[in-house]
Structure 1
Amino acid sequence: MDKIKHFIYDYFLTIGTTETVAIYLNMLGLALVLMLLIFIIDFIIKRLLIGVFAQFASKSKTNFDDLLVKNRVPTNIAHITPLLVALEFISDVFYDFPAFEALVERGLKVFAIVLTLWIVRSILNTIKDYLKTLPNLKDKPIDSYIQVFMIFIWIIGICSAIAIITRTPFINFITGLGAASAIIILIFKDTILGFVASIQVSINDMVRIGDWITFEKYGADGDVVEINLATVKVQNFDKTITTIPTYALISDSFKNWRGMTSSEGRRIKRALFIKQSGVKYLSDEDVNDLKNIQLISSYLETRQSDIKSYNESNQINKELLLNGRNLTNLGVFRKYIDSYLKHHSAINKDMMIMARQLAPTTQGIPLEIYAFSSDKRWENYEYIMSDIFDHLIAALPYFDLELFELPSGGQFIPE
């Protein structure tokens, strides 16, 4: 071994160089030889590992090994052997320079920590990518959990590297950090909040990847495309991306439409505002005219007969419509809406169908339609709802009813 250490040194002495120059040239020569050896070993092992992994991946049924290659796990592992060779022979290269040897050795140990972090990160990324391919986990915040592991690993790695550089035992270094814990918590406040929020979001199943959420505070209205430790990314329907802090999901109020998308229908809840002055009792002639409307003809026949029997048995004076029991055009129209919705092919008949009258307002009497469309897709849902209200607005005049409408400028022009 001594011959190897001083091979170049002896050669330079024989050609007449001074001892000092021979020592330095010997060190440089050995360093170049070691670097060349490390490069060759790294190249060979990298090719072998990548070849073995690629061959194994092509034959296996799972895609986990393909993801290992994609995330450069074999490439990072291949660097371990050259690093061990460097650590083994570094003392021979710097045999005559012990101080320089200690410095380079600390540098190699720090690089070993960095290499370990690379390997762990590539393995965790592989696990993350693999878990995202599983149907049961595709909508889970896998990124958040991987990032938490990486944060702890990076903290340990950085602390280890600093301990090596400062020549401080790792335990003593960690103990010394206790005094600075308040500063560390302040620095990593958002990370800690995000970590806690990610756990609560996952445990309570508040948000999944693919959910449609509406978060007015942040201007988000679209599908969740990513959940990680610090942020939640929402792709809005105009294809813009809104980034929301993860902890905002548990500290603020937002709307998740998952219940609607997983249900049997999408709710229609909209009102027609009827002019109060148009509401009236219906005479027998009015009722007979409305019997031509097929959807309510049998209803009117039955109701007219019941009302007439009641009024006659109670000797009601029907010279004035107010007396006794009567039908109103608004009530009949409400019944028409109910019958129309129940016969509409796009309305889910197994869910609630209702036409209800709300408290009168300054804009008229709200007549609200409450039903559920069978098709939950946004475009089709809007078409169905528009089709229903187009029909009902056009049907109003047949019942001598009008929609409330603010007067336009032309209505104030004197004749």
Structure 2
Amino acid sequence: MLTDVLTQLAQVLQLPQQWHAVFLLGCNMLLAIAVVTVCFLLSRAWLRPVLAQVLDKLDGRLTDETARERRKLASHMAHLVPALVLQAVSPLLFNQAEHFAVVLGIIVWLYLYLFIGLAISAAITLIAKGYAYLAPNPTIPYQGISQLLKLLTFIVFSILIISTALDRSPTLLLSGLGALTAVLLLVFKDAILGFVASIQIAVNNMVNVGDWIEMPKYGADGDVLEIALTTVKVRNWDNTITTIPTYALISDSFKNWRGMQQSGGRRIKRAINIDIGTIRFIKADELEQLQQRRRLQTFFQQQDVLDLLASDDVTNIALFRFYVQWVLRRHEKINQQMTLMVRQLQSTEVGLPVEIYCFSADKNWLNYEAIQADIFDKLFAILPVFDLAAFQRISSRQELPAKH
């Protein structure tokens, strides 16, 4: 019917007979373009609110956070509707131009394959983005899995597009790819290793997004931002970004501070090197003077200290160790439920190390450093009270001992 109407219109316009076929083809093409445009605009306008409503039912945050991904998915899906409509009406519009209809059918199929692949890839991205907000600290390597799925989608639809353009069966291309297995393994080596590593990382719960990891070989020391198929992004404490191969987390060693973050405290492990020449026994009159000091009166009332003073050979270093342990036991920002001790290490050429081993209850980096500094400030200041001195190499500003 449409062909008859257009033929009559050509006659009314008094077009030459040889131009009738061109006129019909041109009118049909304009009509096809109009139908395709209307279908595209209507489908995109309808799909966007539908996707937004579905995501809003899952989680209200996803509607705003995935706006860009939703627009991209709706746009790709909107391209499919007019292509399917054109594929359905092309036999009716171009029944007088069989060769053109065949070529147009191939072009439409290529178009469909392209945007089906893009739509699937956009849907995978949307799901991964939504999962990232629903599970901020995931145990599943969704980034690696999503990238692998998008890679497989790209390969499958590339084969379909090439086979359609060449008018050959996809099985022929697949058989050719089988002969190039070694080349494919070489090309996709990083992707394959990364996928295997992602599975091992997820199964063993080795690293999660948000973990603080330290990997000196790659200059990484900070929080994990993303675990992808081939790379892991780490934001260092100086705000630089370090990219590590995913497989390196399996093949190389690294330190994960998650255990500290999940525990009740952050370890303080630092020593004061005591000058061995200042270590000596304390006389009875010196003990009486120490007990009269306001700062030490409560300390000398402790049972452990009383037991120590009951012996005849009290040293200033022993008394200092008991004092440090007493200070730590009374410190409100030290976790008293975790290991707490003050110990001597092997003496060296730089003195006798007296090490503090305890855990700060506050794990925040700034607060942790402040707590640690406050403790050692006071300990260095109290050393002369016990007639002790920290070892320090002679500097150019100190007077050298006189030669005899």
Relative to the length of structure 1, the TM-score reads 0.86
Corresponding residue of 1:191 = 191
CA distance in 2, matches of 1:276, 1:383: 29
Corresponding residue of 2:182 = 182
Corresponding residue of 1:274 = 274
Corresponding residue of 1:71 = 70
1:214 corresponds to 2:219: no
In the TM superposition, 1:177-256 aligns within 5 A as 177-256=177-256
- How far the C-alpha of 1:102 sits from its partner, in A, is 2.9
SS at match of 1:409: coil
1:59-87 superposed Cα distances (whole Å, 9 cap, x missing partner): x4644984589523444333333111211
Structure 1 residue runs of 5 or longer lacking an equivalent are 309-325
Within the candidate set 324, 346, 350, 1:363 is matched to: 350
CA distance in 1, matches of 2:359, 2:213: 20
1:308-348 superposed Cα distances (whole Å, 9 cap, x missing partner): 5xxxxxxxxxxxxxxxxx22211221111111111111111
CA distance in 2, matches of 1:108, 1:199: 39
Corresponding residue of 1:261 = 261
CA contact (8 A) 1:5 1:95 kept: no
TM-aligned CA distance change 1:185 to 1:402, over 3 Å: same
CA distance in 1, matches of 2:192, 2:210: 25
Q: Indicate the larger mover: 98-107 or 383-392.
A: 98-107
Q: Counterpart amino acid of 1:71? A: R
Corresponding residue of 1:304 = 309
TM-aligned CA distance change 1:257 to 1:69, over 3 Å: closer
CA distance in 1, matches of 2:187, 2:23: 48
Corresponding residue of 1:350 = 337
Corresponding residue of 2:44 = 46
CA contact (8 A) 2:362 2:368 kept: yes
Q: Indicate the larger mover: 23-32 or 264-273.
A: 23-32
Corresponding residue of 1:27 = 25
TM-aligned CA distance change 1:289 to 1:413, over 3 Å: closer
- How far the C-alpha of 1:132 sits from its partner, in A, is 2.2
Corresponding residue of 1:145 = 145
CA contact (8 A) 2:137 2:210 kept: no
SS at match of 1:89: helix
CA contact (8 A) 1:296 1:335 kept: no
Within the candidate set 355, 360, 381, 1:373 is matched to: 360
- How far the C-alpha of 1:164 sits from its partner, in A, is 1.0
1:33-68 superposed Cα distances (whole Å, 9 cap, x missing partner): 11111111222233334355556666x464498458
Within the candidate set 372, 375, 393, 2:380 is matched to: 393
- How far the C-alpha of 1:6 sits from its partner, in A, is 6.1
CA contact (8 A) 2:341 2:356 kept: yes
Corresponding residue of 2:131 = 131
CA contact (8 A) 2:69 2:125 kept: no
CA distance in 2, matches of 1:126, 1:207: 23
Corresponding residue of 1:314 = none
Corresponding residue of 1:341 = 328
Within the candidate set 303, 315, 329, 1:328 is matched to: 315
CA distance in 2, matches of 1:200, 1:388: 42
CA contact (8 A) 1:348 1:373 kept: yes
Alignment root-mean-square deviation, CA: 2.6
TM-aligned CA distance change 1:54 to 1:260, over 3 Å: closer
- How far the C-alpha of 1:135 sits from its partner, in A, is 4.3
Q: Counterpart amino acid of 1:338? A: Q
SS at match of 2:398: helix
1:204-246 superposed Cα distances (whole Å, 9 cap, x missing partner): 1111111111121222222112211122112222222222221
